[in-house]
Amino acid sequence: MRSFLTYLAALGLAVLAAGLLVTRPGVVPESALAGLAGDPVAGEAVFWAAGCASCHAAEGAQGEDRLILSGGQRFASDFGTFVAPNISPHPDAGIGEWDFADFVTALQEGTSPEGRHYYPAFPYTAYRLAERQDLADLWAFWQGLPPSEVPSLAHEVGFPFSIRRAVGVWNLLNLQDDFALAGDLDAEEARGRYLVEALAHCAECHTPRDALGGLDRSAWMAGAPNPSGSGTIPALTPDRLTWSVGEIAAYLNDGFTPDFDSAGGHMVSVIRNMAMLPEADRLAIAAYLKTLPPAGE
């Protein structure tokens, strides 16, 4: 009997060790980034495409204030309320003490410099598809952003979702290294796919989620409940969004629909970002949306 209990204990320890191994936070080593030099001018375009200000600028920030990434916006979900942190270059309140490897590790592995999992309210699941040259450019631009001494606020997430190690299990189920839309695309459509799926992370809002909060790739961009509990976020598939390529691109520039309605809610901030991009990028996004399969297929 004693030998059987010893065997069970050893087996349990082995399973625990294996679980800790496969759920450990991922890290991007400095050696993987060797030779990358960033261009801050190119990085500004990446900044707007990636929507950094939409979550990390203060609520209602306008104009140049959108470059002050002091955090504080609140995002409700089924798992609790997440509060955007200060990610300005402030050395204490923000991320001013990070190096480039810390930055890429956060964006593509969802891991903090202290080796803890970030919650996937931070869209590292999308940013992991970003080109590292784009991230080098973004990092170069980041160095010129204004620091903010506003302290970050804690997330309001209760047990068991407060167990950070459990995010490692979530990552095993949900991290992807390929685009959701496969198949042959022309250069414009491929550019649009990159902008939508990697940088702008549009699916985070426009794709439904499973019970654990992972994106349902079988219903890609088919619309989703609004996390705030009010209404739904519309589908962007061509059977639901019937605007022309030009009309979609125009909406992303000025926020006006073909019927002369205007964007509302969080989309207002998204359009402010998109308006900073070249017209070719807005057209590429629209071209990509036209290649999506109909909702439900």
Quick check: 7 pLDDT over 80? Answer: no
Q: How confident is the model at residue 200 (pLDDT cuts 50, 70, 90)?
A: very high
265: left (phi over 0), alpha (psi -120 to 50) or beta: left
**Of the listed ranges 86-90, 111-115, 124-128, 212-216, the one predicted with least confidence:** 212-216
3-state SS class at 81? strand
Quick check: 245 pLDDT over 70? Answer: yes
Distance separating alpha carbons of residues 47 and 38, to the nearest angstrom: 13
10 Å CB burial of residue 190 (0-12, 13-18, 19+) is middle
Distance separating alpha carbons of residues 270 and 284, to the nearest angstrom: 16
Look-up: residue for tokens 């030099």? 37
Between 112 and 157, residue with greater pLDDT: 112
| pLDDT at residue 183, as a whole number | 87
CA neighbor of 47 nearest in space, from 288, 272, 285: 272
- What's the token pair of residue 50? 């990636």
pLDDT of 255-279, one tens digit each? 999 998 888 888 999 999 999 999 9
| pLDDT at residue 229, as a whole number | 65
| pLDDT at residue 236, as a whole number | 97
Helices (H), 23-74: 40-50, 52-56
Contacts of 256 (CB under 8 A, 6+ apart): 250, 262, 263
pLDDT of 127-176, one tens digit each? 999 999 999 999 999 999 999 999 999 999 888 777 888 899 999 999 99
Q: Print burial letters for 153-178: b (CB count within 10 Å at least 16), e (below 16).
A: eebebeeebeeeeebbebbeebbeee
Tell me the whole-structure pTM to 2 decimals: 0.90
